[in-house]
Amino acid sequence: MALTIGMLGRATHTKVETIRYYERIGLLSAPGRSGGNYRSYGEAELGRLSFIRRARQLGFSLDQVRALLELSDDRGRDCATVDALARGHLAEVERKIADLAALQRELAAMVDSCHGGTVGSCRIIEALGPTRSD
């Protein structure tokens, strides 16, 4: 069961360049080469890359993914660290949601206040300029 980089990419919905990038930054280790210097992947790499992609989809940064991978390799260890990492990320996501919600309210109010007309009297432009003197 040897995969080329293209096959691995298709299996994990990952661009070939992205896989090479992960290798370059040390998130994936360099795989074996076969025949004409092509990368050759197996089951293990498929699992690892799937893990990475799933974590990325959940919004973990590459550094967080790196930490999760390291932790997950040490199966005997207490999973409190993993839990803390996930909880931290969750808190971050919740903060972002709150920020965006505030933004959304402001934008909605801005858009609502526009009743057409010219830019000169546009409430949106007005809302952006704090002191449009003149």
Please give the residue ranges that form the binding site for DNA (CB under 7 A): 4-7, 9, 15-18, 20-21, 35-39, 56, 61-63
Q: Choose from DNA, a second copy, none: what does 72 bind? Cβ within 5-8 Å by kind.
A: a second copy
Residue pair 31/39 in contact (Cβ under 8 Å)? The answer is yes
Residue closest to 62 by CA, chosen among 31, 13, 23: 23
Token look-up 């992205």 returns 18
Phi, psi of 129 (to 5 degrees): -85, 120
* Complex with DNA: residue 61 or 104, whichever CB lies closer: 61
Q: Which amino acid is at 5?
A: I
71 binds a second copy (CB under 8 A): yes
1 binds a second copy (CB under 8 A): no
* Complex with DNA: residue 42 or 121, whichever CB lies closer: 42
**Least CB distance from residue 131 to a second copy, whole Å?**
7
Give the pair of three-digit tokens for residue 66. Answer: 């790196």
